[in-house]
Chain A
Amino acid sequence: MDPQLTTTAELPLPVNAARAVSRPVLGALGTVGRFGMLLLELVRALPEWRVWVPRALEQCEQVGYGSLLIVLLTSAFAGAVASLQAGYQFTGNIPLYVVGAIVSESVILELGPVMTGLLLAGRIGARYAAELGTMRVTEQVDALESLGRNPASHLLLPRVIAGLVMLPALVALADATGILSGWVVAKSSIHITNADYAYGTHRYFRTFDLWYSVIKAEAFGAVVTVIPCFVGYEAKEGAEGVGRATTTAVVAACVVILLLDMLLAKLLL
């Protein structure tokens, strides 16, 4: 008889308590371990560039083109709102050019990368988790391995590379769009002159800000691809499991983006 199957009621309390604590802890450690293994697999797949480069290009097209419109739209609204609020808060004896500074800095440092990251967590993260989850539960991953092919180089790495390549590009476009829309809105709402807005944008700008935006974009690019790939890859039990994996992947990616956002601000600014 399996010792685990004895009813827990007969066991002394400390044993029950130890089990209640140890099981989730061990489960979490196992997940962390498998996540580490996945990262290792990704690195080990790098030499197989013949396999992953063409597939990564396909994925780049999906991530880039596919997300372009929604990213531009969102960043345009974010820039506009930042501009309206700045105009509302800083009227009076504060010089108008400050609005230009506030809009551009908040777009470059925060709104551009974070909004793009969260959008892609939904768009790309959900898609990748569902794709890989479906491939897992329909044995396509097993099939790939049975053919002596490496799922890391065929399935995972192309997706992660696409995220790392396309997110900075999307964030750069989002930044530019946000600043431009902020400008247009500021002109009509508080009647700022072009010269003032441009001056404000330059006044507090450091080259590092752009790097910071790119670093964030890379980090978020990794988050919105690696986490969904991992969660999808671990999916179990049919359609329901894929659904669960998709939700988990999106939520986890969003939470990690917000955590990283704070962490990077603390470390780099």
Chain B
Amino acid sequence: MIELKNVHKRFGHHVVLDGVDFTVADGETVALLGPSGTGKSVLLKHIIGLLRPDVGDVLVDGESVPGLKRRALTKLRTRIGYAFQTGALFDSMTVYENIRLGITDETCYGDRDFCRARVKECLRLVNLSEDVGRLMPAELSGGMRKRVGIARAIAGRPTYLLYDEPTSGLDPVNADAMDALIERFQKELHVTSVVVSHDVRGSFKIADRIALLHNGRIRAVGTAEEFMAAKDSVVRAFLERDLEVAAEG
């Protein structure tokens, strides 16, 4: 269970999160929507302790993340997989080594045969062939980079998966494939997921609940149906704009 309680975060004078309350139950997939630059990535980074709230608290499995000591934080991070927006692959290493670094259990990490099998498995899960392991990140397309990033995030068998804009920048076919991948992880790996996105249609398809981040707060949370029926002007404006864009495209 992930809980954000009244989280405030500012960078200098720039207030990004202004009292966010946000909960993700075990086994659930929540889509976090919002226009670019509203602080969706900032919110995700609070969950894994890459950023600390100025005010408020972040709880994962009942533990307060900002209060964790190094060792406990490291342990928590092995339970959370984070798929970065552009992959954030280590560009001095091969794809194989990248995914291997995702194997967070130290004894497993040192076991060559285990690693080989696990990396192959993770590549298969994201629909990439084993040969991709030999390539360097610079040789991959944007979509492949994202998928390798996801493979690295799941290599340590996390119970939580945080996706930062998994579909943005992809063509519609690849975006659909990515949504299918996320749905597959829900079913096969039983992970609890937060999917950051600004793609309304895709989010409706994969998420149990949807949350809209607006002006540093969660403006609305609910199922797809509840969202479509919402009267809130901001929600309506966001949905309509996206549907317009979809119609134009």
Contacts and interface: CB of A to CB of B under 8 A. Distances in A.
Given A4-B13, A5-B13, A138-B86, A146 B91 contact: no
Contacts of B77: 145-148
Contact of B50 (A4, A134, A146, A149): A146
B93 to A, nearest CB: 10
Nearest to A4: B13
Nearest to A142: B50
Contacts of A145: 50, 77
B86 to A, nearest CB: 7
Of the four ranges (under 10, 10 to 19, 20 to 34, 35 or more), the interface on chain B belongs to 20 to 34
Contact of B90 (A4, A143, A146): A143
Contacts of B86: 138-139
Interface residues of A, number: 17
Interface in A123-160: 134-135, 138-140, 142-150
B224 interface: no
B29 interface: no
B247 to A, nearest CB: 33
Interface in B159-182: none
A2 interface: yes
A133 B172 CA distance: 33
Contacts of B78: 147-148
A223 to B, nearest CB: 24
A149 B86 CA distance: 20
Contacts of B45: 142
Interface of B: 13, 15, 45, 48, 50, 74-75, 77-78, 80-82, 84-86, 88-91, 101-102, 104, 149, 152-153, 156
17 contacts: A2-B15, A5-B13, A134-B91, A140-B89, A142-B84, A142-B88, A143-B82, A145-B50, A146-B50, A146-B77, A146-B81, A146-B82, A146-B153, A147-B77, A147-B101, A147-B102, A148-B78
Given A138-B91, A146-B82, A147-B78, 15 more contacts: A138-B86, A139-B85, A140-B90, A142-B82, A142-B88, A143-B89, A143-B149, A143-B152, A144-B101, A145-B50, A145-B77, A146-B48, A146-B153, A148-B75, A149-B101
